[in-house]
């Protein structure tokens, strides 16, 4: 089987199991998505969705957020972890959005990556899920799956992102990102993984996966 045939089969498997890919983080606009994605660093989407209603009840726009004390923001988002750092980042980026972007979240990767607390992965998620611009956000989970499935030999998420972008059609990136996340949670988890029962690893998994 050629690499192209393998990629096509993986696309078919993911499409079969996850034809619909709802955005896992609850949000109502670009700003609430940006904040939710920032909070999701080292935290589950479920936990973020439990925390954001109270946060956005307090302040759901940059203008309202900058009026809040950082300590009050931190108290609400504490269950997400890293609350001192994340609360400062939310407060600071809200001020920057007001000062430089008329309170709007920019539709630009470079601009997003300059915001406090927003790295490449966070910016990629906002661009893809918020604005529909093709991107392929890669975190440690997708990196692990791509390695298991023999799609990359990369030692880090940067190289894996390059490999996945090269292998998969650009118009599928946004959906595939979510499909891989959903698939990994249900069939290819980090712990308790059963390769022979995984619809992809059982066909394409590296030999090391079965050890």
Measured between alpha carbons, how far is 174 from 153 in angstroms, rounded to an integer?
Answer: 22
- Closest by CA position to 19, among listed 172, 202, 193: 172
Contact indicator for 174, 188 with CB cutoff of 8 Å: no
Q: Angle, to 10 degrees, between the axis of helix 70-77 and the axis of helix 45-58?
A: 140
Active site members: 121, 139
Spatial contact of 128 and 135, defined as CB atoms under 8 Å apart? yes
**Integer Cα distance of 196 and 210 in angstroms:** 8
């Amino acid at each position: 089987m050629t690499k192209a045939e393998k990629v096509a089969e993986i696309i078919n498997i993911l499409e079969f199991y996850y034809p619909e890919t709802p955005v896992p983080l609850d949000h109502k606009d670009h700003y609430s998505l940006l904040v939710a994605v920032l909070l999701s660093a080292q935290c589950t989407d479920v936990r973020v969705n439990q925390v954001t209603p109270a946060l956005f009840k307090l302040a759901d726009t940059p203008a309202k957020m900058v009026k809040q004390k950082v300590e009050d923001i931190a108290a609400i988002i504490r269950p997400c972890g890293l609350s001192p750092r994340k609360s400062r980042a939310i407060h600071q980026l809200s001020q920057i959005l007001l000062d430089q972007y008329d309170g709007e979240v920019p539709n630009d990767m470079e601009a997003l990556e300059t915001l406090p607390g927003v790295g490449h992965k966070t910016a990629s998620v906002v661009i893809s899920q918020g604005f529909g611009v093709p991107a392929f956000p890669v975190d440690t989970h997708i990196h692990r799956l791509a390695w298991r499935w023999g799609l990359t030999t990369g030692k880090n998420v940067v190289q894996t992102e390059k490999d996945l972008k090269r292998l998969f059609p650009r118009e599928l990136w946004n959906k595939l990102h979510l499909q891989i996340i959903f698939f990994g949670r249900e069939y290819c988890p980090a712990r308790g993984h059963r390769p022979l029962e995984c619809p992809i690893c059982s066909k394409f998994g590296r030999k090391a996966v079965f050890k």
